């Protein structure tokens, strides 16, 4: 089984595929990100569905890369017979989803084998297959897939196999297209035209934002492309990750479905997109957010489906063995029913950021924000499940209270600075001050000299690093500095940050987990704000080394095994990379300007 970091991402802005270094697509859900997988080898064995194109001699590729600033993947193999290149991509969605693979001969004459094993409903359903001249058709219930290729195909061991010899200059295309079995077949895709159009689409998109410069340009751009690829274009929603049930601990039960849109991501996503100049994507995300939260504020959820659907029932798929035996494999997410008070703050902060960044104010948007704030006024002092979605007893999490403060602060400031926005600013300012005093009284431990994960408990939590970022206290405040020092001392391993110590905090689950990558980016930001630039830069550049060969990050890092863990690619890892990288580059530019001015003086 491939390691999590062995996978590269393909996408068409409605779903995505993961391609391993051995040339196998081991994960693909059709037609949407959250649809049942037709390739589920990622969570079981190749018998659960995959599509491999590679030299018959096998092995992993010699090298691979994305074509610059695109999502077109090139994978090369050097073999004793010669060299081939496989070009993989998904054209931005037209009528139907397509996966295009072009085998190109670079030198010599290389025997190549394509093995396509379709298994619908997460590996459980074997389709009925028919072979016709130039194409293979697989049907099972509502699903139909067509493989069009000039290469000969045949059935073997419940798979569709092609065996060809590719010579220098050859270009042999394979086009896989999904459609509803009760609909007519979609138009045939010309693979070479689709390649040119896909390259142009991604290149144009990359150039449509603010021109990014500096030493982190490539890393930031790749993360932005990844965030764009995780966007469901019809609605503007951004999924947390492409996958479900990749484990936070190998062999453990902390396996969750991340193919949904979290409200918590809203502020961070908007910040990343706006800072890089992608106003259209930021506006689409804001519109998704407003549609999703519409309704009774008391029924606000922490996450929604791509189209804003609220019910996300959690289920287990017992026929799948799980990634490296990590079970159960889950679909849906029961955490959608949890009370997490911080999401009110993140939602209102995100909408404030959008308003202040020039996306424009809307009367109905302000009405929604006012309703959310009025509900939070009566709910902020309740215990909740916190941002980490603990499945243990509810507590008074410090981060939740801080984000309630953010909500009151942003809403009162909006009324003070925008005459067209109306609301009880005095009341919200009083609430802001009340929450601030409450956190300082109960969320800070004078003896330890640090803020704590929850009221009355000494445990640390990486979310405390957000205190200066949201403006609750300046980063130079002794209480913040003490918290940063304590987290560096007691909540890091090999210099990277844990969310919290699972042995000290009852989160309702057995076992442990890796190091949550976003938390280390939060430490970068906290160090930067505290003026500790050298430490911030060193940590950021170490984090960049954890990316895989094509620049992708999953959710977590195992410092002992030196492996990525958790669902991948993870939006919650990529948008803090963007914001941290841009801040550090801006800081370097500012210091350079200061040095030049000082020298001239």
| Digit-coded pLDDT (tens) for 281-337 | 999 988 998 899 888 888 889 999 999 999 999 999 999 999 999 999 999 998 888
For Cα atoms 37, 255, 23, give the angle at the middle one, nearest 5 degrees: 45
Note the Cα 485 to chain centre separation in Å: 29
* pLDDT score at 426: 98
State the DSSP H helix or E strand holding residue 144, giving kind and residue range, or none if neither: strand 143-148
- Does residue 600 have a pLDDT over 70? no
Give the model's pLDDT for residue 59: 84
Question: Which tokens hold the place of 157?
Answer: 């061991």
Looking at the predicted structure, is the pLDDT value of residue 15 above 90? yes
Spatial separation of the C-alpha atoms in residues 499 and 386, rounded to whole Å: 12
At 298, list the tokens: 């008391």
Beta bridge partners of 156: 159
Q: Write down the pLDDT at residue 335.
A: 87
For residue range 94-107, list pLDDT tens digits in order.
889 999 999 999 99
- For residue 598, the model assigns a pLDDT of 41
pLDDT tens digits for range 325-382: 999 999 999 888 899 999 999 999 999 998 888 886 666 789 999 999 999 999 999 9
What is the distance between the alpha carbons of residues 551 and 220, in angstroms, rounded to a whole number? 9
| Distance, CA of 290 to CA of 353 (rounded, Å) | 14
pLDDT beyond 50 at 125: yes
Mean pLDDT of 376-393: 92
Give me the mean pLDDT over the 473-499 stretch. Answer: 97
Which residues does residue 515 pair with via DSSP β-bridges, in sequence order? Answer: 557
- pLDDT above 80 for 274: yes
Q: Is the pLDDT of residue 489 over 50?
A: yes
Neighbours of 179 (CB within 10 A): 19
Question: Would you give the end-to-end CA distance of the chain in angstroms?
Answer: 62
At residue 590 the predicted structure's pLDDT band, cuts being 50, 70 and 90, is low
Instruction: Please give the average per-residue pLDDT across 168-179, as a whole number.
Output: 98
Q: Write out the H or E segment, with its range, that includes residue 499.
A: none
- 200 vs 204, 469, 488, 544, 557, CA distance in Å? 6, 37, 44, 27, 34
Nearest Cα residue to 504 out of 390, 356, 378, 345: 390
pLDDT at 594 over 70: no
Whether 283 contacts 362, CB under 8 Å: no
Residue 550 has pLDDT above 50, yes or no: yes
User: 496 pLDDT exceeds 90?
Assistant: yes
Query: Using CA atoms, how far apart are residues 193 and 590, in angstroms rounded to an integer?
Result: 45
pLDDT at 573: 98
**What's the chain's average pLDDT?**
94
pLDDT at 362: 64
Gap between the Cα atoms of 454 and 433, Å rounded: 19
The pair of structure tokens assigned to 233 is 């274009």
With a CB cutoff of 8 Å and minimum separation 6, the contacts of 471 are 406, 409
* Model confidence at 421: pLDDT above 70: yes
Q: What is the pLDDT of residue 592?
A: 43
Does residue 592 or residue 185 have the better pLDDT? 185
> Residue 595 above 80 pLDDT?
no
Helix (H), strand (E), coil (C) string for 57-118:
CCCCCCEEEECCCCCCEEEEEEECCEEEEEEEECCCCCCCCEEEEEEEEEEEEEEEEEEEEC
Q: What is the DSSP letter of 244?
A: B
Q: Output the CA–CA distances (angstroms, integers) from residue 49 to 24, 127, 433, in the order listed.
A: 10, 11, 56
Q: Is the pLDDT of residue 429 over 80?
A: yes
- Weakest mean pLDDT among 128-132, 499-503, 586-590: 586-590
Nearest residue to 170 (alpha-carbon basis) of 184, 196, 150: 150
> Predicted confidence band at 391 (pLDDT cuts at 50, 70, 90)?
confident
pLDDT one-digit tens code per residue, 187-240: 999 999 999 999 999 999 999 988 888 999 999 999 999 999 999 999 999 999
Per-residue pLDDT, 359: 80
> Which tokens hold the place of 195?
């390649």
Q: What's the average model confidence in pLDDT over 431-448?
A: 98
Whether residue 591 has pLDDT greater than 60: no
Please report the pLDDT score of residue 365 as a whole number.
85
What's the pLDDT at 268? 87
Q: Name the more confident of 442 and 503.
A: 442
C-beta separation of 357 from 282 below 8 A? yes
576/515 Cα distance (integer angstroms): 15
Mean pLDDT of the region 15-19: 98
Measure the CA–CA gap between 201 and 71, rounded to whole angstroms. Answer: 10
Q: What percent of the chain has pLDDT over 70?
A: 97
No. of H helices and E strands in the chain? 14, 28
pLDDT score recorded for residue 601: 46
pLDDT above 60: residue 535: yes
If you average pLDDT over residues 549-558, what whole number do you get?
A: 98
- Tell me the C-alpha to C-alpha distance, in Å, between residue 305 and each of 124, 282, 311, 369, 505: 23, 18, 8, 21, 30
User: Residue 588, Cβ neighbours under 10 Å: how many?
Assistant: 15
């Amino acid at each position: 089984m491939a390691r999590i970091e062995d996978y590269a991402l393909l996408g068409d802005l409605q779903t995505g595929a993961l391609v391993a270094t051995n040339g196998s697509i081991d994960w693909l859900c059709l037609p949407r990100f959250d649809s049942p997988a037709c390739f589920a080898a990622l969570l079981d064995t190749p018998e659960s569905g995959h599509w491999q194109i590679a030299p018959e001699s096998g092995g992993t590729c010699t090298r691979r890369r994305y074509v610059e600033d695109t999502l077109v993947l090139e994978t090369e193999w050097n073999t004793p017979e010669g060299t081939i290149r496989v070009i993989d991509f998904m054209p931005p969605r037209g009528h139907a989803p397509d996966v295009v693979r072009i085998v190109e001969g670079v030198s010599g004459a290389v025997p190549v084998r394509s093995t396509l094993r379709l298994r619908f409903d997460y590996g459980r359903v074997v389709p009925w297959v028919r072979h016709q001249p130039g194409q293979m058709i697989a049907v099972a219930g509502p699903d139909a897939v067509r493989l069009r290729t000039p290469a000969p195909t045949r059935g073997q061991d419940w798979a569709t196999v092609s065996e060809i010899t590719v010579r220098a200059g050859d270009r042999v295309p394979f086009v896989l297209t999904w459609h509803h079995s009760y609909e007519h077949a979609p138009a045939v895709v010309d693979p070479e035209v689709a390649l040119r159009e896909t390259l142009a689409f991604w290149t144009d998109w990359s150039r449509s934002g603010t021109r990014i410069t500096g030493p982190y340009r490539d890393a930031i751009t790749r993360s932005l492309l990844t965030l764009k690829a995780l966007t469901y274009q019809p609605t503007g929603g951004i999924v947390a990750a492409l996958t479900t049930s990749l484990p936070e601990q190998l062999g453990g039960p902390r396996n969750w479905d991340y193919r949904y849109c979290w409200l918590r991501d809203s502020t961070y996503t908007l910040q990343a997109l706006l800072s890089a100049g992608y106003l259209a994507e930021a506006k689409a995300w804001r519109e998704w957010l407003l549609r999703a939260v519409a309704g009774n504020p008391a029924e606000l959820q922490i996450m929604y489906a791509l189209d804003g659907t609220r019910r996300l029932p959690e289920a287990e798929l017992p026929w799948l063995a799980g990634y490296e035996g990590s079970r159960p494999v889950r679909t849906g997410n029961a955490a959608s029913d949890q009370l997490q008070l911080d999401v009110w703050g993140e939602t209102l902060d995100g909408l404030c950021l959008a308003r202040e960044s020039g996306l424009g104010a809307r009367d109905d948007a302000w009405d929604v924000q006012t309703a959310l704030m009025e509900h939070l006024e009566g709910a902020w002092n309740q215990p909740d499940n916190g941002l980490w979605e603990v499945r243990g007893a509810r507590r008074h999490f410090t981060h939740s209270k801080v984000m309630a403060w953010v909500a009151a602060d942003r809403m009162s400031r909006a009324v003070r600075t925008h005459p067209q926005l109306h609301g009880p600013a005095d009341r919200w300012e009083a609430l802001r001050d009340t929450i601030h005093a409450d956190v300082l009284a109960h969320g800070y431990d004078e003896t330890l000299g640090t803020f704590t994960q929850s009221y009355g408990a000494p445990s640390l939590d990486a979310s405390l690093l957000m205190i200066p970022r949201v403006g609750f206290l300046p980063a130079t405040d002794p209480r913040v500095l003490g918290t940063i020092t304590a987290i560096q001392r007691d909540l890091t391993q090999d210099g990277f940050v844990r969310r919290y110590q699972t042995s000290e905090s009852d989160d309702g689950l057995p076992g442990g987990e890796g190091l949550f990558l976003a938390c280390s980016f939060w430490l970068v930001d906290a160090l930067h704000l505290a003026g500790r630039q050298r430490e911030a830069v060193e940590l950021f550049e170490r984090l960049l080394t954890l990316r895989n060969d094509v620049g992708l990050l999953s959710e977590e890092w195992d410092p002992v095994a030196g492996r990525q863990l958790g669902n991948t690619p993870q939006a919650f890892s990529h948008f803090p990379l963007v914001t941290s990288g841009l801040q550090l580059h801006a800081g370097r530019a500012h210091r350079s300007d200061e040095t030049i001015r000082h020298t001239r003086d």
